[in-house]
Amino acid sequence: MPTNSHKYSILLPTYNERDNLPIIIWLIVKYMKASGYEYEVIVIDDGSPDGTLDVAKDLQGIYGEDKIILRPRGSKLGLGTAYIHGIKHATGDFIIIIDADLSHHPKFIPEFIELQQKGDYDIVSGTRYAGDGGVYGWDFKRKLISRGANYLSQVLLRPNASDLTGSFRLYKKDVLEKCIASCVSKGYVFQMEMLVRARQHGYTIAEVPITFVDRIYGTSKLGGTEIVQFAKNLLYLFATT
C-alpha cells in the first residue's frame, strides 16, 4: 500500500455521456482502490439532455457520496469553466483531469501518481506521442490532423512536452489554478494553452505514455471548424507568449 497521504480529486466533465459514465467510473474506482490512493470523483455535468445526471446519481448511490461528488451546471458552459467549477469543490491536493468518453483509460492514473511522487513534478501529462503511447480507432485523416496540430504547436511554442492537445493530466492543485487563471482560450485549444502557461510559470512537466482510444459511443468533438479555430487560437497564443 502506498505511504502517500495525498488525496486525488478526479474531475470528470460530462455532456451526454450516459452510456460511458458507468464504465469510466467503475474503472476509476477499480484502479484507485487497487492502488490504495485516497480519491474522489467530481462529476461536472453541463445539463446533458440524455439523462447523464440521473445515471451519475445512481452511481453515487452505488459507490458512496464521499467518492462520487455531483456538481452539475444548468447548461453547456464549456471545458475551461467546468474545470474551474470542479476545482472549487475539490478537496484533494492534486487534481486529475480525464475524459468521460473512455478515450483515456483510468489504469494509467496510478502511473501518473507514482511518476509525480518520484520527481515532485508540478504536472504529469499523458502522451500519445512518446514511448509506447499511441492512438487507436482513428482514421488516417484524424491522426494526421492531430499529429499536425501537435507538431505545429511544438515548433511555435516549444513547451517541453510531446503531447499538447491531450487532456489526460495530473496537476498540483495550486498549479492548475494558476495555469487556468492565466488562460484565455476555450475549447479544444485550452488544453494546449495550459502547458504553454505552465512553461511561462516555470512549472515542471513529466509525461506518461498512454494509449488513447477513440470514442466508443457518441460522436467525436473534433470537427473541421474546430480545426480552423485551433489553428487561429494557436497563432494567437504564439503571438502572445
148-179: per-residue pLDDT in tens?
766 666 666 555 665 656 778 999 999 999 99
Residue span of the structural domain in which 112 resides: 7-240
**Running DSSP on this structure, what letter comes out for residue 20?**
T
pLDDT at 77: 81
Enumerate the H helices of the chain as residue ranges: 21-35, 52-63, 79-89, 109-119, 140-157, 173-181, 190-201, 224-240
pLDDT at 217: 46
What residue type is 215 in one-letter code? R
Collapsing DSSP to helix, strand or coil, 89 comes out as: helix
pLDDT at 19: 87
pLDDT at 238: 65
Please report whether residue 2 resides in a domain.
no
Please report whether residue 197 resides in a domain.
yes
In sequence order, the 6+-apart residues with CB closer than 8 A to the CB of 73 are: 44, 45, 46, 47, 82, 85
pLDDT at 7: 97
Query: Apex CA 115: angle with CA 109 and CA 121, to 5°?
Result: 110
Residues of the chain with pLDDT under 70: 1-3, 129-139, 143, 145, 147, 149-165, 186-188, 213-231, 233-234, 236-238, 240-241
Please report whether residue 1 resides in a domain.
no
pLDDT at 133: 61
Counting the structural domains of the chain, the total is: 1
Return the CATH number at 99: 3.90.550.10
Please report whether residue 33 resides in a domain.
yes
Please report whether residue 67 resides in a domain.
yes
